[in-house]
Structure 1
Amino acid sequence: MLVFSLLALLLVSSSWAEVDVATIEEDTSRELSVGELLERANRDRHPGPDEPTLIGGDIAIKPGADRNADPCTSRGCLWQKYTDGKVYIPYYIANHYSSREISIIKRGLESFSAVSCIRLRPYQNGDYEWLSIESRDGCYSYVGRQGGGQTVSLSRQGCLYHSTVQHELLHALGFNHEQTRSDRDSHIKVYWENIIDGMAYNFDKINTLNQGTPYDYNSVMQYEKYAFSKNNRPTMLPIPNNNVAFGTATQMSQNDIDRLNRLYKC
């Protein structure tokens, strides 16, 4: 009986050790910036014929789209505001997620209602446009309302973090990456020679609506300084002070929230 008890204790201790290690690894991953998480998740994409072209690392575009145009300036991309002043956006979560994964997604969705007039609600029969949240190949979203059901990909392999959910939802609401802002060159120096060959277009400036908010190094839409680097050297650094921390966000900044509210006149 004593031997059995000791064996059981060892097994329990071993199991808890494994759980603790897994928890530590998960916590470590959770501390990565959103840009690092997205780049890691999309690094080895092998998209099928039904997957969209991506620019900027995680922005889906339709065939023939102008890569340098901001949908919010080139066409109507905002979601409809109702008479009560709220913006209700239906969503559908594919059934291939676990209950834990769904809770991460829903926490990200619900975070918008706490700081804005955006209300994400479950899809209902009769909805004519909605976000279809699926585990496709990588993390990505279209920018702004597309009409009908539009895919927000949150792959089960690497995309299920609070920061990545917020990041992709901000794309769907109409926002681009911070480093592609029209006033980028006044705040960020791009080191083109360090960028992976064929990926320089990820740093092209576009005609963004900046909502009168300052450039934000702490935006959840700002990638980190080694994004798309081919030689482990920085692809972008803040100016004039290269030592300013940037691209380390793990959730929406106050500027992200302010520009969201300004865009939708909350």
Structure 2
Amino acid sequence: MDHRSVLTVLLLFQGLTQVSMAEDKQVEKDISTRILEANKRMSHLLMEGDVALPKTRNAMKCFTRRCKWPKSTSGLVEIPFKIEPVYKSFALRTIQDAMNAFHTQTCIRFVPYAGQTNYLIIQSNGGCWSDIGMQRGAQYVSIDISGCISEGVIQHELLHALGFYHEHTRSDRDKYVTINFQNIDRDNYKNFDKQDTNNLDTPYDYSSVMHYGRRAFAQGKDSIIPIPDASVPIGQRQGMSRIDIQRINKLYECRG
């Protein structure tokens, strides 16, 4: 092989490496970064970046019987849903895979809508967002086709619909993370308000799919720092943690 051929091969390899690194960088975005970036393009008024303002409650408080989805006589919690016909096959598979993780590890079952009074409508409506808990009637979960199609993001929004909050806003969070308000725009302070949560006797979970990453709403330096060990990873990329699943099973009294 002459020197020109060698140079051509090296340039090709360099180009492929750069493409691969760019793809890896895209994959490395944590769930909260994906959500907040997707929601920059939307006009809805949201709390904490992806929670729809309550229609019937003056705060985001859930964990009461009226905002939990009811359990059927079979012992399963069946949540009817419709999917708007805008998703292509890959997105539909990803949504189904995200739901299947609930089906295999909890008593939650997302079932096709068949005329039930309370149900979810999964739509592509300008971002990734949901209400907290069951709202009565038709309830929207936005999984936008641009930016929200990942199992972790979908599970995050479905957990909101089940009644779960962000981990970094739970009532005892100050024992586990420091919120660096000096690195956050004052208009975004409200996104770090602590909530009056029922923590279900479970430990604070840095690996929760509901925990935002250390750069959420940050200007410059990190906004969320784990304590006492600042190196603890937060803002994961995959999906529900073991403790996320444990909490679902506790809240909905799933058996075996």
Following TM superposition, by how much is the alpha carbon of 1:25 offset from its aligned partner in structure 2, in angstroms? 5.7
2:101 counterpart of 1:111: yes
Structure 1: gaps (5+ residues): 1-16
Name 2:146's counterpart in structure 1.
157
Following TM superposition, by how much is the alpha carbon of 1:32 offset from its aligned partner in structure 2, in angstroms? 2.0
Following TM superposition, by how much is the alpha carbon of 1:66 offset from its aligned partner in structure 2, in angstroms? 2.9
2:58 counterpart of 1:100: no
Name 2:46's counterpart in structure 1.
54
Counterpart secondary structure, 1:168 = helix
Letter in 1 for 2:83: I
- Of the candidates 201, 204, 207, which is equivalent to residue 218 of structure 1? 207
Letter in 1 for 2:62: P
So what's the TM-score if we normalise by structure 2?
Answer: 0.87
Distance across 2 between alignment mates of 1:72 and 1:66 = 15
Name 2:9's counterpart in structure 1.
none
- Of the candidates 228, 246, 250, which is equivalent to residue 262 of structure 1? 250
In the TM superposition, what whole-angstrom CA distance separates every residue of 1:183-214 from its partner, at most 9, and x where no partner exists? 00010111111112301010000111111110
Contact 1:32 1:250 in 2 (8 A): no
The correspondence of residues 124-143 of structure 1 with structure 2, limited to 5 A, is: 124=114, 126-143=115-132
- Of the candidates 19, 31, 35, which is equivalent to residue 34 of structure 1? 31
So what's the TM-score if we normalise by structure 1?
Answer: 0.84
Alpha carbons of structure 1 residues 131 and 197: separation in structure 2 relative to 1, 3 Å: same
Alpha carbons of structure 1 residues 145 and 26: separation in structure 2 relative to 1, 3 Å: farther
Following TM superposition, by how much is the alpha carbon of 1:28 offset from its aligned partner in structure 2, in angstroms? 4.5
Contact 1:137 1:153 in 2 (8 A): yes
The number of residues matched between the two structures is 240
Name 1:177's counterpart in structure 2.
166
Name 2:67's counterpart in structure 1.
77
Counterpart secondary structure, 1:120 = strand
Provide the alpha-carbon RMSD of the alignment: 2.1
Letter in 2 for 1:184: R
Distance across 2 between alignment mates of 1:42 and 1:149 = 22
Contact 1:115 1:257 in 2 (8 A): yes
Distance across 2 between alignment mates of 1:57 and 1:65 = 18
Letter in 1 for 2:47: I
Name 2:78's counterpart in structure 1.
88
Letter in 1 for 2:170: R
Counterpart secondary structure, 1:163 = helix
Following TM superposition, by how much is the alpha carbon of 1:26 offset from its aligned partner in structure 2, in angstroms? 5.7
Distance across 2 between alignment mates of 1:219 and 1:127 = 31
Contact 2:41 2:126 in 1 (8 A): no
Structure 2: gaps (5+ residues): 1-14
